[in-house]
Structure 1
Amino acid sequence: MTEIRVKICGLRTAADVEAVAEAGAAYAGFVFFAKSPRNLSIPEARTAALAAPVGLAKVALVVDADDAALDRITGEVPLDMLQLHGRESTDRVAEIRARYGLPVMKAVGVAEAGDLAAVLDYSLVADQILVDAKPPMDAVLPGGNGLTFDWRLVAQRRWLRPWMLAGGLTAENVAEAIRLTNARQVDVSSGVEGAPGMKDPAKIRAFVKAARGFTLP
């Protein structure tokens, strides 16, 4: 039986990290994107990341970051993974993976079947794929918009790398999303907030319980 692994993204404080760890999540995500209400400064991220216990993977979400920005983040924040959530090319993904020696997760926005070709392309260069709802054309944020997509598009899919389902997940719908897609990993941000950028420990516990309560064969 396969236990579902949960990523809680957009954490801002040591208390957020502690709540995520206590709930039993596998990944803690920190956002480095100025337009996001979940954006952290490097000192804030370092303080939050240092609160993570051994075994909780610390993930930095960046959007089209250059080497200078990545140098600062990786040099000062203890991390286990980089999540690329912009328009990074496959070459750029491979370059970042080689330069920083950290596993890389590449986000791919999905709205229709044609979007899935990018999953295969990025699977050749990334360690994991985050399959997320594609943001609207006028969206300010590349993710964390609370939008879902048609989960049937990824039902029973098998790719070259492990993948994670994201986009509009909540404690109320995550079990159904797992059932329909067979996802082994799920990611949530806005779905466990009381207000944009403000994590709710009760919602975190409820989400992790709902996700991990669904066991795949």
Structure 2
Amino acid sequence: MLRVQSKICGLSTPETLDAAVAGGASHVGLVFYPPSPRHLNFDKASGLAARTPERVGRVGVFVDPHDDLLESAIASARLHALQMHKVEKDRAAAIRARFRLPLWVAVPVRTRADLDQAHRWRGLAERVIYDAKTPPGGLPGGMGLRFDWKLLDGFPHPAPWVLSGGLGPDNVAEAVRTTGASMVDVSSGVESAPGVKDVDKIARFLQAVAAL
């Protein structure tokens, strides 16, 4: 199996960002969404970006963002890609055309039919992220929920894809073996409290992935 890539999402401190880099994360996720406990202001995002080696991709995470937010986030964090939640296809296309950065689009999954939404992003999203569908009123990600990984059996993916939702150090190996994922994305699964990343959990998660 080719090396599995890992994205540690929702980082907010120098120590936890350093742990992600040291552990071999291929990408780090920086959240720009005020309702989230992982939300960053632009000054903090700039500081984290400055600590991140260029070999590690910086992905900005957004929920149906305005252009002003995108512009400031891209400039402060020197983002390599834009991860979109709850965005319409026309809006996503406009964002890609204006900012000329790769789009990663989250597809919330509870049933096999939910997976079909991924096909809408063919030719537009560089990566599709399969994440667990959250309850009404909940945050669109980072809730520690997982979906039935077997739903992905035989699914014709429209783009390179990422497995997310409810992953952690103790189940990521099983998740990869079950789904064949070549990239995994974790947030709450490496936290000690909502929005508080744990350096030991980050290290254990990345060790589990590296051992695959």
User: TM-score range with shorter-chain normalisation?
Assistant: over 0.9
Q: Deviations over 1:29-56 (max 9, x none)?
A: 0111111111110111111111001201
TM-score (norm 1): 0.94
Please state how far the C-alpha of 1:94 moved relative to its aligned partner.
1.5
Match of 2:173 among 175, 178, 183: 175
Question: Is 1:56 the equivalent of 2:56?
Answer: yes
Please state how far the C-alpha of 1:138 moved relative to its aligned partner.
3.1
Match of 1:106, SS state, is strand
- Greater Cα shift, 33-42 or 148-157: 148-157
AA partner of residue 31 (structure 1): V
Q: Please name the residue that 2:161 is paired with.
A: 163
TM-score (norm 2): 0.96
Please state how far the C-alpha of 1:66 moved relative to its aligned partner.
0.9
Distance 1:202 1:166 in 2: 20
Match of 1:129, SS state, is strand
4+ residue stretches of structure 1 with deviation over 3 A?
Answer: none
Distance 2:149 2:98 in 1: 34
Q: Please name the residue that 1:188 is paired with.
A: 186
Paired residues of 1:17 and 1:49 also in contact (CA < 8 A): no
AA partner of residue 206 (structure 2): V
Structure 1 residues without counterparts, runs of 5 or longer:
none
Equivalent runs, 1:119-130 vs 2, <5 Å: 119-130=118-129
Paired residues of 1:32 and 1:62 also in contact (CA < 8 A): yes
Distance 1:25 1:77 in 2: 17
Aligned length: 212
Paired residues of 1:146 and 1:191 also in contact (CA < 8 A): yes
Distance 1:76 1:33 in 2: 15
Q: Please name the residue that 1:204 is paired with.
A: 202
Distance 2:186 2:76 in 1: 25
AA partner of residue 119 (structure 1): A
Please state how far the C-alpha of 1:98 moved relative to its aligned partner.
1.4
Q: Deviations over 1:53-95 (max 9, x none)?
A: 120100100101011111111122211111002x211111111
Q: Please name the residue that 2:42 is paired with.
A: 42
The alignment-based identity, stated in percent, is 42
Distance 1:2 1:57 in 2: 19
Q: Deviations over 1:125-168 (max 9, x none)?
A: 111111000001231x1000000101111134342311000000
Q: Please name the residue that 1:118 is paired with.
A: 117
Distance 1:123 1:105 in 2: 11
Paired residues of 2:15 and 2:199 also in contact (CA < 8 A): no
Paired residues of 2:60 and 2:79 also in contact (CA < 8 A): yes
Match of 1:96, SS state, is helix
